[in-house]
Structure 1
Amino acid sequence: MQNPVIAIPAASSEDALAHFSKAFEFETDCWDTHEGLKISPEQFVLLDVRSKALYDQGHVPGAVSLPHGKIVESKLSQWPQDILFVTYCAGPHCNGAARGAVRLAKLGRKVKLMAGGITGWLDEGFELAKTE
């Protein structure tokens, strides 16, 4: 029986470097987002792209609720055109953050995805805020 880990050869070191380095242009993680919110939260907009009901039950402190299906230009007009948006959803099992990122990119906005979403945030030991 062939080992499934090595069944497909690994990329060259050069290709791996290019691939993994490029990923940082598209994603950030929960720890870096947490630090960014402490250091200079005005430099990006953190969007919770889940439903408003899920946002109200628990969200990353400082996040704005904007479900991915409602991301349209008129909802973004309050922010400068060059501001970075960071999207998140429930976690790695959810593609809402990617859906939100696609919508933002189609509107010409800079965007990254927060890998891990709510699941990753909680795994890091960070607290959620709730809407009263």
Structure 2
Amino acid sequence: MTSLVRQIPAAPSAIALMHFSNRLTFETDCSDVYGSQEAGEVDFVLVDTRGPSAYQRGHVPGAINIPGRLMTAQTLAAYPASTLFVVYCAGPHCNGANKAAVKLAALGYPVKEMIGGVTGWLDEGFALNVEAVSGAIGCEC
């Protein structure tokens, strides 16, 4: 008897290595962002891609707020082309970070998504910066 897991065979190791290695070029996680911040090794710009009110209700420390819909060559002109942007949104249920990453990549910037977003950050036990307390921490993307 074959389990549901094995009904579709796993990829050969060489292909799995390539796949999972490639994923890491597109993603980082909350723990790595937090660890980099704690070590003072922040060589990236952390961007909360949600709307301003969601950002004010709670955002990752050190993040700036640039909603994805506002990412243009003009709004990013102050950043050199080599700037690594790390984007996040509300969480895995939101694709605002993906949309922002597409815009950043199209503008020629290196970009990674902080997987998990605000939900992942809180799941790790890390605190958010709060500027105003009201409502839920949602997307508004």
Q: TM-score range by the shorter chain?
A: over 0.9
Please report the TM-score for the alignment, with normalisation by the length of structure 2.
Answer: 0.88
Q: Which residue identity does 1:45 align to in structure 2?
A: V
Distance 1:35 1:48 in 2: 18
Count residues with an aligned counterpart: 131
Distance 2:108 2:50 in 1: 21
Q: Which residue of 2 aligns with 1:34?
A: 34
Q: Which residue identity does 2:6 align to in structure 1?
A: I
Q: Which residue identity does 2:90 align to in structure 1?
A: A
CA deviation map 1:77-121 (0-9, x unaligned):
122220100000011111111111000000000000001100110
The gaps in structure 2 that reach 5 residues or longer are 133-141
Report the identity percentage. 50
Q: Which residue identity does 1:82 align to in structure 2?
A: S
List aligned pairs for 1:7-18, cutoff 5 A. 7-18=7-18
Distance 2:2 2:19 in 1: 26
Q: Which residue identity does 2:14 align to in structure 1?
A: E
Q: Do structure 1's residue 95 and structure 2's residue 95 form an aligned pair? A: yes
Return 69-78 or 51-60, whichever deviates more: 69-78
- RMSD across aligned C-alpha pairs, in angstroms? 1.3
Distance 1:79 1:114 in 2: 20
Q: 1:2: how far off?
A: 6.1
Q: Which residue identity does 1:63 align to in structure 2?
A: A
| Displaced runs of 4 or more, over 6 A | none
The gaps in structure 1 that reach 5 residues or longer are none
